[in-house]
Structure formats: structure tokens, C-alpha cells
């Protein structure tokens, strides 16, 4: 049985930064979440999770978040795209049908970057290339069927492709081709997919975007189910962190502020997390 699981949720560029800040602050306070038996990464959390599972020091990546975002493209979910997402909920579709509708939006979208270019960007940001020995799950959604998928090292899928798929924000970045299927952001099912930690005794969930919209399951509901059989700590950005992150989680200009806010917030979260993790 898995003893301890670390769940890292989605939240764009600022979510990555906030998570690295949290992990660094917690480690400095004596709580090393990198000792997890299972790491679950969704979207932004897949970028962080792949590195945590591989043993990358959080402080190294935290310092990288503080560097100026020179040459990085800012993206955003424009009003037209948000309207199409809202229309995908019309008729209260089943979760899988909703995800397939979002997948159609993603497949038809004209994005700034091609699939190959986007994979190259993810590869340039990921200092690890191979699946770690530690159990790691990277979430994604089949853009055609709406089927949810959690990739691991036994699937024979390149780690960079799995992470790129999990980060493929529909309508913003292109879906990623894996074994003849097109995959998009794992956050389309749930911002954190914390239910994949079922079976663990102790679970810590870092969720930059805890709410669920329509058929997307909120992390709080998943955590409530986990707490029936496990000790669970759930942390999301506090008021100061939300202010630092701002309204656009895909804006590199907010990355440094989000990282510092996560680092600071770790001080107030450490006791609750230590109680679960120790």
C-alpha cells in the first residue's frame, strides 16, 4: 500500500511558481514532500511533479522562478474561449461528454504554437527527461473520446510528451499526440485529480485552482472522500498569494511574485502539513 502521496494540481505558469515556493518553504521548515511514495501531477503540477519525483531540489527550481521571463510568451483564456467552454456545459452533459466537447474546441483551435513547438518548449523547461523510479502519475484527457488517462512509466510514453499533454490548455496550446490519440490538459477532468491518491495513508494536496466548474470535480469533494480512509492536508493559495498570482495564471510576468507568495505561505501551512506527513 502506498503510504504517502503528494498531489500537485494545475494552475498555469503561476501555479508552477507557487508550488515551487511552497515546496521550498516547507523543506526549509523540515517537511520534505519529495519523500512521497506516489506523486500525482496535473497540468502545472505535472511539470513540478516530474521533477520532484526525480529528486530535483525545490530550492533550485524556486530560484529559477525568480528570474526575469525574458522571451517567454504570455497567453490567456480570452472571452470567446471562455464562452465556448460555458456552452460545452449546456444540457448538463456527463463528465466524459463534457470533456469530449472541450476536446473538440481544442482540436479546432488555431493556437500560436504548433504541437512540435509546444513539446520543445516543455522539454526546454523540464530538466529531467526519463521517468523516475518513484511512482509518478501524469494526468491527461483524450480530446476525442473524453477518456481520462493517468500515464506512468510503464506505458512507454516519453515523459516530456506526457507532461506536454497534461499542460495542453484547450484552445491555448495544441493537444499532444500519443500513440495515435490527441491528449489535452488533465485539469479538464479535475484541477488536481486528488482521487488518484486513494489507497494512500497520508496525502498532501497543493491545489493552485481548487474550484471545479460544471462537470469538473472540485478538489474539496475529492479530499472529503480521501479523508474517510486517510489523513489529508489540502493547501491552496491564500489571500496574499491570490493577489500575487493575479487574474491571468498564464502570464510569466506574475511568476516571481507567485513563487515568493508560495514560499511565504509555507510558514503558515507547515504545521498542518507536518501533522499529516510526519
pLDDT in tens, 8-36: 999 999 999 999 999 999 999 999 999 99
Beta strands in the chain (DSSP E): 4-8, 38-41, 135-142, 148-151, 176-178, 181-185, 202-206, 231-235
pLDDT tens, position by position, 230-277: 999 999 999 999 999 999 999 999 999 999 999 999 999 999 999 999
Q: Are strands 38-41 and 135-142 parallel, antiparallel or unpaired?
A: parallel
Cα three-residue angle 198-205-136, rounded to 5 degrees = 65
**What pLDDT, on the 0 to 100 scale, is given for residue 2?**
62
95 occurs within a structural domain: no
**What pLDDT, on the 0 to 100 scale, is given for residue 71?**
66
**What pLDDT, on the 0 to 100 scale, is given for residue 243?**
98
Q: Are strands 135-142 and 231-235 parallel, antiparallel or unpaired?
A: unpaired
pLDDT tier at 79 (50, 70, 90 boundaries)? confident
Give the range of the structural domain holding residue 233, as residue numbers without chain letter.
4-73+112-277
pLDDT tier at 92 (50, 70, 90 boundaries)? confident
262 occurs within a structural domain: yes
87 occurs within a structural domain: no
CATH number at residue 42: 3.40.1090
103 occurs within a structural domain: no
94 occurs within a structural domain: no
Cell 513539446 sits at which residue? 119
90 occurs within a structural domain: no
251 occurs within a structural domain: yes
106 occurs within a structural domain: no
Please tell me the pTM assigned to this model. Answer: 0.96
pLDDT tens, position by position, 61-76: 999 999 998 767 778 7
Contact at 8 Å (CB) between 153 and 136?
A: yes
Q: Which residues are catalytic?
A: 43, 185
Q: How many domains does the chain have?
A: 1
Closest CA to 192 of 6, 25, 8: 8
Amino acid at each position: 500500500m502506498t503510504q504517502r502521496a503528494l498531489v500537485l494540481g494545475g494552475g498555469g505558469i503561476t501555479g508552477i511558481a507557487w508550488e515551487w515556493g511552497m515546496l521550498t518553504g516547507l523543506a526549509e521548515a523540515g517537511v520534505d514532500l519529495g519523500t512521497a511514495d506516489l506523486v500525482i501531477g496535473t497540468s502545472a503540477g505535472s511539470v513540478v511533479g516530474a521533477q520532484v519525483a526525480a529528486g530535483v531540489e525545490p530550492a533550485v527550481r524556486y530560484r529559477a522562478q525568480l528570474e526575469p521571463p525574458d522571451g517567454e510568451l504570455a497567453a490567456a483564456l480570452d472571452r470567446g474561449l471562455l464562452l465556448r467552454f460555458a456552452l460545452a456545459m449546456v444540457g448538463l452533459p456527463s463528465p466524459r461528454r463534457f470533456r469530449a466537447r472541450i476536446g473538440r474546441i481544442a482540436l479546432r483551435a488555431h493556437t500560436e504554437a504548433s504541437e512540435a513547438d509546444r513539446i520543445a518548449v516543455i522539454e526546454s523547461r523540464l530538466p529531467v527527461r526519463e521517468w523516475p523510479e518513484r511512482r509518478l502519475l501524469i494526468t491527461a484527457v483524450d480530446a476525442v473520446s473524453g477518456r481520462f488517462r493517468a500515464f506512468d512509466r510503464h506505458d512507454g510514453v516519453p515523459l516530456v510528451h506526457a507532461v506536454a499533454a497534461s499542460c495542453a490548455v484547450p484552445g491555448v496550446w495544441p493537444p499532444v499526440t500519443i500513440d495515435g490519440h490527441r491528449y489535452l490538459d488533465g485539469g479538464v477532468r479535475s484541477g488536481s485529480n486528488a482521487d488518484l491518491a486513494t489507497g494512500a495513508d497520508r496525502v498532501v494536496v497543493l491545489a493552485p485552482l481548487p474550484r471545479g466548474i460544471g462537470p469538473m470535480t472540485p478538489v474539496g469533494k475529492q479530499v472529503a472522500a480521501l479523508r474517510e480512509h486517510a489523513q489529508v492536508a489540502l493547501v491552496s493559495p491564500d489571500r496574499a498569494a491570490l493577489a500575487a498570482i493575479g487574474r491571468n495564471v498564464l502570464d510569466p510576468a506574475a511568476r516571481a511574485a507567485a513563487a515568493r507568495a508560495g514560499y511565504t505561505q509555507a510558514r503558515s501551512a507547515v504545521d498542518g502539513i507536518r501533522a499529516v506527513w510526519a
